[in-house]
């Protein structure tokens, strides 16, 4: 009996491996189906193969309950049941059952295959050794791998209408995954629907974070995690305790999908249906720009972005997209902390006298980010309105000027969408936009730049020194010297990177003026995506410099340096302190 049980366990373990390789092969076939022209196989052949893999997946998922070793944990049983029911619904829809016709769409087969692949891959034991790769090196390696994969997918014959060079594909893949938005070819006219979907997936992965995304599915389908996983993800999620890591990841994924879903609905409602040839085109437009907006990517399938004639005066659309990238630019830790504060406030209001006191709910980072964001938005809107009143705002009236000025002040800090002609901005506005692109968004957000907290800490440090204080005190708290040091390190490294990029590009592009080149480099490092119209005209060498700028801007120069330099393991000593003359 023991031998039979062991054989059963071995049988289902091998079946699980077969299911993994079949689902992986199915994902590759999906890419082949849409990325290449094929004459021997027809679309029904592909659909029949996908359906067969889904049937096998149902059998393997259900069969695991008969095994002891391969039986899913109690945490995973509800997930497996829901996945199994979804796959059965897809099979029933393909069988022609009228009440299951909704599940006969191809998108359900693709989603079902993806879920089967993630389900099976989650059972594989893969834990990178922190002795071989430190977290910084692992992040850099993963980013490089995804960017290269995106480049390969964008170079497939059916990804573009006229083909694309390796440099342009690499540029686009980097811009999408690093959620920048700079483009060398027009996204809407150059890429096919398959190519645009690849870009959209890169944006979504880059916005959420590839390790956050994969760890979520691994925990969802396996119900367990390792101590190494928690250490790797602790800094990404800004969790104070290791036990909170995967709870935070789950909240991030759900929060992102909910916001993007509501964003797509509101964008859909703001659109004029006569501008689209079909309902599917209108839905696709809404989903694409909701994801691109919340992830602060700035990618759009329209020529001239929101400055397009059909959308230039659609102020409700502008406000919806602005809300999306402002929310994404605040950062997940800030949003969650603020929501916790509101919940505590609401609870105390409802309980009246029996108040529940939780000390210091709104932490110092949240306070700084919220105050700095409001100051930058208000001051930026006023300055944009003043500088551009008779220039790029001349075509707008009344509230339209205010909304356009607000959008113009908000987009440089994270997004990259534009509702005015960026190349026509007045010089003072250009300088303000460059400053905002350098400052960037909040920490742990989908935006880039040196982060608003770094800028705020630097300003507070200057004010403290001017008042004769040797430390920064704000909101009844003292900012640690380590935070001050990191802030100034970010600022110095950003100037070095941007300055070096401007220097080398001006050598290569001798016909380009300094201002557009500097604007391009600030936009790339800040992962913003605004341009004065020179991106597509750059030489390949200049494009590669911009690629490096976007990559380092998204990861941060300190992460790059951490991956290259050997970390000091022991600091159990101190040398005698001595001051250095500064001024």
* pLDDT tens column, 143-181: 888 899 999 999 999 899 988 999 999 999 999 998 888
What pLDDT, in 10s, does the model give residues 4-21?
556 655 666 666 677 778
Q: Which two tokens stand for residue 100?
A: 């299951």
Q: Which comes out higher in pLDDT, residue 389 or 132?
A: 389
Angle CA(256)–CA(262)–CA(267) in degrees, nearest 5?
A: 120
As a whole number of Å, the end-to-end CA separation of the chain is: 84
Residue with tokens 């390792």: 226
Q: For residue range 64-92, what is the model confidence (pLDDT) as tens digits?
A: 666 656 666 666 677 778 888 888 888 88
Q: What is the mean pLDDT of residues 426-444?
A: 90
Instruction: State the number of CA atoms in the 13 A half-sphere of 376 facing the CB.
Output: 32
Interior/surface letters 91-107, b for 16+ CB within 10 angstroms, e for the rest: bebbeeeeebeebbeee
Three-state SS at 473: strand
The two three-digit tokens of residue 482, written as one number: 């380590």
Give the per-residue pLDDT at 169.
94
In angstroms, rounded to a whole number, what is the distance separating the alpha carbons of residues 150 and 128?
Answer: 23
Q: In the chain, what are the helix, strand and coil shares in percent, each to the nearest 5?
A: 70, 0, 30
Query: Looking at residue 67, what is its pLDDT?
Result: 62
Name the residue with higher pLDDT: 501 or 239.
Answer: 501
Question: How many Å apart are CA 542 and CA 499, to the nearest integer?
Answer: 14
Q: Is the pLDDT of residue 45 over 70?
A: yes
Locate 326 and state its tokens: 């402002």
The CA dihedral of 285, 287, 290, 296, to the nearest 10 degrees, is -90
C-alpha to C-alpha distance for 564 and 558, rounded to whole angstroms: 10
Other C-beta atoms closer than 10 Å to the C-beta of 288 total: 23
pLDDT band at 253 (very low <50, low <70, confident <90, very high): confident
- Could you write out the three-class secondary structure of 422-438? HHHCCHHHHHHHHHHHH
Residue 1: pLDDT band by 50, 70, 90 thresholds?
Answer: very low
For residue 11 the two structure tokens come to 């049988």
Q: Is 7 exposed, middle or buried (0-12, 13-18, 19+ CB in 10 A)?
A: exposed
> What is the predicted pLDDT for the residue at 435?
93
CA nearest to 189, candidates 312, 100, 304, 280: 304
Tell me the C-alpha distance between 72 and 80, whole Å. Answer: 8
The answer to whether 2 touches 9, Cβ cutoff 8 Å, is no
Q: What is the pLDDT of residue 561?
A: 75
Tokens coding 366: 């949240």
**Among 123-132, 262-271, 400-409, 520-529, which is the least confidently predicted range?**
123-132
pLDDT score of 518 more than 80 = yes
Token readout for 143 is 């980013």
How far apart, in Å, are the Cα atoms of 314 and each of 124, 171, 237, 321, 534? Answer: 49, 30, 36, 11, 27
210-244: b (≥16 Cβ within 10 Å) or e = bbbbebbbbbbbbbebeeebbebbbebbbbeeeee
Identify the burial level of 263 via C-beta atoms within 10 angstroms of its C-beta, where 0-12 means exposed, 13-18 middle and 19 or more buried. Answer: buried
Mean pLDDT of 523-542: 88
Q: Distance (Å, rounded) from C-alpha 141 to C-alpha 148?
A: 11
Which among 422, 409, 419, 416 has a CA at the least distance from the CA of 446? 416
Residue 166 CA to residue 187 CA, distance in Å, equals: 16
237, two tokens: 């999620």
Highest mean pLDDT among 41-45, 91-95, 247-251, 498-502: 498-502
Q: Which residues contact 470 (CB under 8 A, 6 or more apart)?
A: 464
Strand partners, 472: 479
- Which positions ≥6 away from 580 have C-beta within 8 Å? none
pLDDT band at 208 (very low <50, low <70, confident <90, very high): confident
- pLDDT for the residue 225: 52
Query: What whole-number distance in Å separates Cα of residue 331 and Cα of residue 335?
Result: 6
Identify the burial level of 371 via C-beta atoms within 10 angstroms of its C-beta, where 0-12 means exposed, 13-18 middle and 19 or more buried: middle
Other C-beta atoms lying within 10 Å of the C-beta of residue 2: 6
Q: Residue 218: its pLDDT value, please?
A: 56
Is the distance from CB of 525 to CB of 549 less than 8 angstroms? Answer: yes
User: What pLDDT, in 10s, does the model give residues 180-196?
Assistant: 888 899 888 899 989 99
- Provide the pLDDT confidence category of residue 233 given band limits of 50, 70 and 90: low
Lowest-confidence pick of 51-65, 122-136, 337-351, 522-536? 122-136
Domain residue ranges of the chain, discontinuous segments joined by +: 2-121, 135-325
Of 446, 454, 428, 370, nearest in space to 179 by CA: 446
Given this model, what pLDDT does residue 149 score? 92
Q: Rounded mean pLDDT of 503-521?
A: 92
Q: What is the pLDDT of residue 150?
A: 92
Q: What is the DSSP letter of 184?
A: S
pLDDT in tens, 84-124: 888 888 888 887 777 777 777 788 888 888 888 877 776 66
Higher pLDDT, 185 or 250: 185
The label of the residue with tokens 């997930």 reads 79
In the chain, what is the greatest distance between 2 CA atoms, to the nearest angstrom?
A: 87
Within 10 angstroms of residue 62's Cβ, the number of other Cβ atoms is 14
Residue 576's Cβ-side half-sphere holds a number of Cα atoms within 13 Å equal to 1
Average pLDDT, the chain: 81
If pLDDT is split at 50, 70 and 90, which confidence band does 227 have? very low
Q: What is the pLDDT of residue 466?
A: 87
């Amino acid at each position: 009996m023991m031998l039979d049980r062991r054989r059963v366990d071995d049988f289902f373990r091998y079946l699980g491996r077969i299911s993994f390789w079949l689902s992986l092969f199915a994902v590759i076939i999906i890419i082949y189906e849409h990325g290449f022209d094929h004459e021997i196989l027809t679309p029904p052949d592909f659909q029949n193969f996908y359906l067969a893999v889904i049937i096998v997946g149902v059998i393997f998922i259900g069969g695991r309950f008969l095994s002891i070793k391969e039986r899913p944990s109690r945490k995973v049983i509800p997930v497996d049941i829901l996945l199994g029911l979804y796959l059965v619904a897809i099979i029933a829809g393909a069988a022609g059952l009228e009440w299951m016709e909704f599940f006969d769409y191809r998108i359900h087969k693709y989603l079902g295959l993806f879920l089967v692949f993630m389900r099976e891959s989650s059972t594989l034991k893969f834990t990178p050794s922190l002795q071989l790769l430190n977290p910084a090196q692992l992040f850099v390696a993963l980013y490089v791998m995804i960017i290269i994969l995106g480049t390969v997918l964008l170079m497939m014959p059916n990804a573009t209408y006229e083909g694309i060079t390796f440099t342009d594909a690499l540029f686009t893949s980097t811009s999408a995954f690093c959620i920048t938005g700079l483009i060398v070819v027009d996204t809407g006219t150059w890429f096919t629907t398959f190519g645009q979907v690849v870009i959209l997936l890169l944006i979504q992965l880059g916005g959420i974070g590839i390790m956050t995304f994969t760890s979520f599915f691994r925990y969802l389908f396996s119900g367990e995690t390792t101590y190494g996983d928690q250490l790797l993800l602790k800094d990404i999620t800004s969790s104070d305790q290791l036990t909170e890591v995967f709870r935070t990841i789950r909240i991030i994924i759900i929060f992102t999908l909910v916001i993007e879903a509501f964003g797509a609905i509101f964008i859909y409602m703001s659109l004029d249906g006569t501008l689209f040839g079909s309902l599917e085109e209108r839905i696709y437009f809404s989903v694409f720009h909701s994801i691109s907006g919340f992830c602060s990517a700035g990618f759009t399938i329209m020529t001239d972005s929101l400055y397009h004639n059909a959308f230039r005066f659609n102020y409700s659309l502008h406000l919806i997209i602005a809300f999306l990238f402002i929310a994404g630019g605040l950062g997940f830790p800030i949003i969650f902390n603020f929501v916790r504060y509101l919940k505590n406030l609401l609870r105390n209001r409802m309980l009246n006298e029996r108040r529940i006191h939780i000390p210091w709910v709104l932490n110092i980072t949240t306070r700084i980010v919220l105050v700095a964001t409001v100051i930058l938005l208000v001051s930026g809107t006023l300055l944009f309105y003043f500088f551009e009143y008779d220039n790029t705002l001349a075509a707008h009236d009344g509230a339209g000027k205010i909304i356009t000025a607000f959008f113009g002040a908000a987009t440089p800090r994270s997004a990259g969408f534009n509702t005015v002609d960026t190349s026509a901005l007045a010089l003072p506005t250009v300088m303000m936009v460059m400053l905002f692109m350098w400052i960037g968004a909040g920490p742990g957000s989908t935006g880039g730049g040196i982060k608003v907290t770094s800028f705020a800490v630097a300003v507070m440090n200057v004010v403290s020194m001017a008042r004769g204080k040797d430390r920064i005190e704000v909101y009844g708290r003292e900012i640690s010297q380590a935070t001050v040091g990191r802030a100034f390190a970010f600022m110095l490294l950003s100037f070095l990177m941007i300055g070096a990029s401007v220097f080398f590009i001006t050598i290569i592009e001798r016909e380009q003026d300094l201002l557009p080149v500097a604007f391009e480099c600030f936009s790339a490092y800040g992962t913003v995506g605004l341009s004065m119209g020179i991106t597509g005209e750059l030489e390949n060498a200049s494009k590669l410099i911009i690629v490096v700028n976007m990559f380092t801007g998204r990861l941060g120069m300190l992460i790059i340096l951490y991956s290259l330099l050997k970390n000091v393991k022991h600091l159990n000593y101190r040398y005698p302190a001595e001051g250095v003359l500064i001024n």
